[in-house]
Amino acid sequence: MDANKIAQEWRRIPIEIEEPLRSRILSMSVEEAWREISGLKNFSDDLVFPQLSQLAAVVMCLPHSNAESERIFSVVTDVKCKKRNKLGVENLNAITVVRSSFASKNISCDTFQITEKHLRKFDSRINQMTD
């Protein structure tokens, strides 16, 4: 993305978007408004605001808070405590992924159902370790 082109497109918005489109866009949600602006084309069938639309799409996909990353850090600090301070990165990552997945699906160690597939994987890992 080119910052100069973005600035130019931003300054052109009041010129390019006239009434009644302006009123319609102002009554839309942010996502709908940028979808509308992103689809605007000129007489040559080129997008009017390609750089600005791309920037808007990137900005709108950013998380609104850091709550999810804070939850993951909380799980990591729960798992890697004084007694487990030598826990490796791979194991820590695996435990964190499993705990996050279980939490998102409301599964606990009491409600988790072990299937035949789990037992086969466990058996294959044991056989790999003993070979």
pLDDT digits (tens, 9 = 90+) for 27-47: 999 999 999 999 999 999 999
- Global pTM value: 0.50
Phi, psi of 81 (to 5 degrees): -105, -170
Residue pair 34/70 in contact (Cβ under 8 Å)? The answer is no
Q: How far is CA 89 from CA 20, 69, 127, in A?
A: 57, 17, 24
Task: Give percent helix, percent strand, percent coil of the chain, each to the nearest 5.
Answer: 65, 0, 30
What's at 27, amino acid-wise?
Answer: S
Position 128 scores a pLDDT of: 74
Residue type, 41: K
* Chain centroid offset of residue 26 CA: 27
- Give the list of residues 6+ apart from residue 95 with CB closer than 8 angstroms, or none: 79, 87
Going by C-alpha positions, the residue among 68, 36, 69 that lies closest to residue 52 is 36
pLDDT at 122: 80
pLDDT bucket at 70, cuts 50 / 70 / 90: confident
